[in-house]
């Protein structure tokens, strides 16, 4: 039976597409994206899901009086889809403590910077503004903080002289599309163990 992945997305969904493609071509073996949940009704990620025949669910914050009920609805949608793993792919909200606890150890996120440097929004621009010579992306387990969970994979890129923020972002995005499927593959194959701040990768 294929492992089932649930994806939370708020935007265009390029990392979602990378995950869908990796499942189809066997880069992530014996797995499928079972559902895409979005907090934005017109997110292009939903169109990508529909094109791939994947179930979608829109959960809007404005439909709920309390944020805890909003997060519960997201968690319920994922549980009802029977997901084995939750992946944040451009999801622009910090998960509530209850939602993190519900999926702890089986929820991943990707961030466009080399954590712990430049967490939060616009990691690429933060790095560019700071004048770093090397940046990159990080795939990590989700905890209760903002981009603070244990690191699984990091990929680095050089920041060339004269490079613009747009060019740096595109360079990092290419690495994101490689790193995220690899981290998912490692998790679903049972090769990852969280040991405090560290993620131990066992031999394949």
If asked whether residues 116 and 67 sit together in one domain, one would say: no
**154/78 same-domain check:** no
CATH code for the domain in which residue 69 is found: 3.40.50.170
pTM attached to this predicted model: 0.95
pLDDT in tens, 91-140: 999 999 999 999 999 999 999 999 999 999 999 999 999 999 999 999 99
Q: Are residues 14 and 95 in the same domain?
A: yes
pLDDT of 204 strictly over 90: no
Mean pLDDT of the region 176-203: 97
Residue-wise pLDDT for 38-75, tens only, equals: 999 999 999 999 999 999 999 999 999 999 999 999 99
The whole-number pLDDT of residue 41 equals 97
Q: Do 86 and 131 have their domain in common?
A: no
pLDDT at 24: 97
Arithmetic mean of pLDDT over the chain: 97
- The whole-angstrom distance between residue 20's C-alpha and the CA centroid of its chain comes to 13
Task: Show which residues are catalytic.
Answer: 111
Q: 180 and 91 in one domain?
A: no
The residue among 103, 135, 151 that closes a domain is 103
Sequence-ordered list of residues with C-beta below 8 angstroms from that of 116, at least 6 positions apart, any chain: 147, 148
Helices 14-25/165-188 angle, 10° precision: 40
CA distance 148 to 7: 19
Domain boundaries, position 25? 1-103
């Amino acid at each position: 039976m294929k492992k089932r992945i649930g994806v939370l997305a708020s935007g265009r969904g390029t990392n979602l597409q990378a995950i869908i493609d990796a499942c189809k071509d066997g880069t992530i073996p014996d797995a499928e994206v079972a559902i895409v949940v979005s907090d934005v009704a017109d997110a292009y990620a939903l169109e990508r899901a529909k094109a791939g025949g994947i179930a979608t669910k829109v959960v809007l914050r404005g439909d709920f009086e309390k944020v805890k009920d909003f997060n519960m609805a997201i968690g319920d949608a994922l549980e009802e889809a029977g997901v084995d793993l939750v992946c944040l792919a451009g999801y622009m909200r910090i998960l509530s403590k209850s939602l993190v606890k519900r999926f702890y150890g089986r929820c991943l996120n990707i961030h466009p910077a080399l954590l712990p440097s430049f967490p939060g929004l616009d990691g690429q621009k933060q790095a560019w503004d700071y004048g770093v010579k090397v940046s990159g992306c990080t795939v990590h387990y989700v905890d209760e903080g903002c981009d603070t969970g244990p690191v699984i994979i990091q990929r680095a890129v050089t920041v060339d002289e004269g490079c613009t923020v747009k060019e740096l972002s595109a360079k990092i995005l290419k690495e994101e599309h490689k790193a995220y499927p690899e981290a998912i593959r490692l998790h679903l194959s049972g090769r990852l163990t969280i040991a405090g701040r560290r993620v131990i990768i066992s031999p394949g």
